[in-house]
Structure 1
Amino acid sequence: MLDAWAEHGSPLLIGGEPVTCDRRFETIDPATEEVIGLAADATPALLDAAIAAARRAFDTSGWASDLDLRVRCLRQLRQALERHAAELRELTIREAGAPRFLTHGAQLDQPVADLGWVAGLAETYAWTRDLGRAAPMGIASDRYVLREPVGVVAAITPGNFPHQITLAKLGPALAAGNTVVLKPAPDTPWCAAVLGRLLVEETDLPPGVVNIVTGRDHALGALLAADPRVDLVSFTGSTATGRAVMRGAAETLTKVFLELGGKSACVVLDDADLAGACAYAAFAAISHAGQGCALTTRLLVPRARHDEAVHLTARTMARLGTGDPADDRTVCGPLISARQRDRVEAYLRLARAEGGSFATGGHRPDRDRGFWIEPTLITGLTNRSRTAREEIFGPVLVVLPHDGDDDAVRLANDSPYGLSGAVHAGDLERARAVARRLRTGTVSVNGGIWYGPDVPFGGYKQSGIGREMGVAGFEEYLETKSIAEPARRTEGASA
């Protein structure tokens, strides 16, 4: 399959059929800059056909009302992805530059397994809720609430976690009874195209329920978000692009879900295991070259232990270094593209201009090819600097001193973002107290892992609108309908 795509290009999926495209673009291995192959470069006309197919499938097929079929298709998709896991793993490493160890977690295996949880939720969900009888204005009425699918979902995804983010949208959207047009990032078109092929060949999914449109033109996403035939836009990406999505959707008052950027803080209190906390912060900040919106990229440490924390963190980051993503031992692989590497380097220059210095890293490693940046620890900045406030999306960690719990909370919350965070303390109750004060959607306490299919994920402030995953994420894809009927006579009542 992939060998054929290398020469002829991966197809689109429109109306249940693979669709070839005269226009194609190259997909690149970010570790080597080698061309992996070609992907379909869709035109606006092909996007229009995909939206029409999704609209038709929702309006005229029985998909929205057939819960058993939806659950069966989700379980078939999970099984198909598991059967092809070895091929998908190698593809994800090559196309996304994902370290191999992550493909055994959030990059592949975990989101595939999560489809089973979503299918189970749909089976047990209370689609109808009885509100009982009331007599507003003296009219006895029986009332109930229905939960129904929104309709056509536009799913627009980035390339950093191509399977996890795609399946976190596709799974609940389909379980809820919606149809979908997926527009994946141009950096990872093959990861999406493989999904489309498996849906056609190894599931009972009706034609048009899922449509996949790849393309290098970001304007396709804008067209999709603004189309009046779309009922919900589910977007993950930068805050700047999220604002554009909202503006486009505002014309038709289309519902939006936005999972956006972050500049999350790892807060270390003065009774914490400093070495353990710094190792955690170093590992988190540079995993997958820092290309994760929920990664902690500000390290807040007690002022009295600042220099020690810098030494411990820099040592760990330097020891981890960069490596071939195909190697099991690699934590920090390449950035996804030359454009992203250039963006990170611009922030490194800015950090110096703002008065910062590098305790480790700050440059490209000595590699002939690929889009690499060394794991970098920046010191000497304040929380008002742009480098400490803006999302860099690279293996860059800024360390900042704090003067106690209240000051740490103030610094952590002094951000336009509020996506994630972490707290490390020797006293668990103290850590919990700080965690509760952080204005952020998820918090890890002393290394706890919050990721899971049942855990709502999303942010405060400019980190987004709504939640993905969990029951809350599932309900993003539902509408609420309230119905009232004349009160039914009880048995034995007089005529």
Structure 2
Amino acid sequence: MQSQGQASTDADAGTSPADRKLLIDGQLVATEASFPSVNPATTAVIGHAPDATVADANAAVAAARRAFDSSDWSTNVELRVRCLEQLHRALDEHREELRELTIAEVGATRMLTHGNQLDIPIGIVAYYADLLKNYSLTEELPEIESRGQRHRRWIDKEPAGVVAAIVAYNYPHQLALAKIAPALAAGCTVVLKGAPDTPLVTQALGELIAEHTDIPAGVVNVLSSTQVAVGEVLSTHPDVDVITFTGSTVVGRRIMAAASDSLKRVFLELGGKSAMILLDDTDFATGAMFAAFSICTHAGQGCALTSRLLVPRAHHDEIVEQVAANMARVSFGDPGDPKTYMGPLISERQREKVDGMVQRAVAAGATLVTGGEKVDPGFFYRPTLLANVAPDSEIAQEEVFGPVLAVIPFDDDDDAVRIANNSIYGLSGGVFSATEERALAVARRIRTGTMSINGGNYFAADAPFGGYKQSGIGRESGVAGLEEFLEHKTYAAVIS
């Protein structure tokens, strides 16, 4: 059931002018229709976003195609470096304005904006500007002899073309900048579509690009829309060469199928059901604290969060008690308060999904230790711990995207690895052990794209991020993130 505040926003859709504009072909463009953006902590409308149409999407793709084919963006490395440095400077100078908008629209806590929600993503732009200065776009191969002649061979790394970048709501700065920064560094042009739950944050990025950089017209286009058809244009348009998408695995499958008609290059960063394993020799108190606070980060709305906790069967009840005690210490409420650890879920729709999965888990035999409650006003959900979870159950197999931790017992290291790998996903995970050697031995047997050993933090602009299996295709960040947007062309010339 919708709250009164949410119901009023639905009636408000399209009746108010947008507070921000689309960026298409270098111009900030107003739209006839708008849609409300809601503060998930209060359900109040914080502004209205431009509601792009299919015609707007087609115009954005056409602009990106012209900019790629007709300008020197794809070949002018010095220009690209300068523009990325300008974008980084603009983001830095508007950091506090972006921080307040992120807290209000995303529901991210103030402390989180000083990390993965804002400050770290801003650094991604500087990373790729610096990388481009030293990255060789030409690679020499050894000379060979063929048909009585010497042949010089080399590889040029060229931009892949027009990129459609579609991002999710949970970390909009991180997701947008991890796509457009390497794409621009590579020499591609971009159409960026923000999530309809967090449109103002993405459109603010478009305004900074238009007003504070020398990025040529059409090189970056930024859309927000409630229309599914706009996303379909981006994933099927013949002038789009690359699709990079972050979101659910269900939608990722549809995008991959839609892109197959024209054999577009597809990069997908999708769902996760990552496992944290506490081996029997570890300090359970440390592992329990890490597990409890990790799953409550951004109210559990993170694809790489460890939502399954695998524990030795003999110590199940002991560890569950420790995790529950730590969850009781998680402060949640006003995300603007510097002392708040956990904010709200993004919407009532998402809260209903989370609560439904928890209730079904209990009906299926899991023990509800703590939580499982909605908290009003806003879209808050109390940190939730489920014990004695069956490895094949829905709550152990499906992504919840909420502050819900499922505790699953195992018998030995082999059993822990089997349970961890018992998933269609393979995005992240963690292992705790008294010895790094033992933890690493287990981690190396788990098919997942990132692993944390005893709480190690891999997240940074230079670290490739992505998944195995149905958690996605390709890698974001690091050198690998740049190379997602490059084509390799091989040359050979007879040496006279």
Q: If the TM-score is normalised by the length of the shorter chain, which range does it land in?
A: over 0.9
Within-5 A mapping of 1:152-167:
152-167=162-177
Within-5 A mapping of 1:81-230:
81-230=91-240
Instruction: With the length of structure 2 as denominator, give the TM-score of the two structures.
Output: 0.96
For 2:322, the equivalent position in structure 1 comes to: 312
What's the CA shift string for 1:96-135, capped at 9, x where partnerless? 0001111001100011012111111111111101113212
The structure 1 segments of at least 4 consecutive aligned residues displaced by more than 4 Å after TM superposition are: none
For 2:483, the equivalent position in structure 1 comes to: 475
User: Aligned pair 1:398/2:390, yes or no?
Assistant: no
Letter of the 2:260 partner, please give it.
A
Letter of the 2:110 partner, please give it.
R
For 1:287, the equivalent position in structure 2 comes to: 297
For 1:375, the equivalent position in structure 2 comes to: 383
User: Aligned pair 1:435/2:450, yes or no?
Assistant: no
The whole-number CA distance in structure 2 between the counterparts of 1:38 and 1:195 is 16
Within-5 A mapping of 1:195-274:
195-274=205-284
The whole-number CA distance in structure 1 between the counterparts of 2:495 and 2:144 is 9
User: Aligned pair 1:484/2:464, yes or no?
Assistant: no
* Contact map agreement 2:41 2:333 (CA 8 A) in 1: no
For 1:331, the equivalent position in structure 2 comes to: 341
* Contact map agreement 1:379 1:400 (CA 8 A) in 2: yes
The whole-number CA distance in structure 2 between the counterparts of 1:406 and 1:418 is 18
What's the CA shift string for 1:196-254, capped at 9, x where partnerless? 11111111110000000110123311221111100000000000000000011001000
Letter of the 1:92 partner, please give it.
T
The whole-number CA distance in structure 1 between the counterparts of 2:63 and 2:94 is 27
What is the RMSD computed on CA atoms of the aligned residues? 1.2
* Cα distance, 1:138 vs structure 2: 4.4
* Cα distance, 1:20 vs structure 2: 0.2
The whole-number CA distance in structure 2 between the counterparts of 1:458 and 1:370 is 32
User: Aligned pair 1:62/2:65, yes or no?
Assistant: no
What's the CA shift string for 1:339-391, capped at 9, x where partnerless? 111111110121122111211101112x2x21111110011221100111000
* Contact map agreement 2:21 2:29 (CA 8 A) in 1: yes
Letter of the 1:320 partner, please give it.
V
* Cα distance, 1:139 vs structure 2: 4.6
* Contact map agreement 1:321 1:374 (CA 8 A) in 2: no
For 1:35, the equivalent position in structure 2 comes to: 45
The whole-number CA distance in structure 1 between the counterparts of 2:41 and 2:477 is 31
User: Aligned pair 1:50/2:46, yes or no?
Assistant: no
* Cα distance, 1:318 vs structure 2: 2.0
Letter of the 1:30 partner, please give it.
P
* Cα distance, 1:7 vs structure 2: 5.4
* Contact map agreement 2:85 2:126 (CA 8 A) in 1: yes
User: Aligned pair 1:466/2:480, yes or no?
Assistant: no
The whole-number CA distance in structure 2 between the counterparts of 1:44 and 1:241 is 19
Question: What secondary structure is seen at the aligned counterpart in 1 of 2:46?
Answer: strand
Instruction: With the length of structure 1 as denominator, give the TM-score of the two structures.
Output: 0.96
The whole-number CA distance in structure 1 between the counterparts of 2:389 and 2:117 is 33
Identity within the alignment, %: 54
The whole-number CA distance in structure 2 between the counterparts of 1:110 and 1:21 is 32
The whole-number CA distance in structure 1 between the counterparts of 2:462 and 2:103 is 27
* Cα distance, 1:331 vs structure 2: 2.0
User: Aligned pair 1:356/2:363, yes or no?
Assistant: no
What's the CA shift string for 1:78-103, capped at 9, x where partnerless? 11111111110010000000011110
Moved more, 243-252 or 213-222: 213-222
For 1:492, the equivalent position in structure 2 comes to: none
* Contact map agreement 1:332 1:395 (CA 8 A) in 2: no
Question: What secondary structure is seen at the aligned counterpart in 1 of 2:276?
Answer: strand
* Contact map agreement 1:262 1:417 (CA 8 A) in 2: yes
Question: What secondary structure is seen at the aligned counterpart in 1 of 2:262?
Answer: coil
The whole-number CA distance in structure 1 between the counterparts of 2:35 and 2:301 is 23
The whole-number CA distance in structure 1 between the counterparts of 2:317 and 2:459 is 32
| Change beyond 3 A, Cα 1:425–1:54 | same
Show structure 1 runs of 5+ residues with no match: 1-5, 489-495
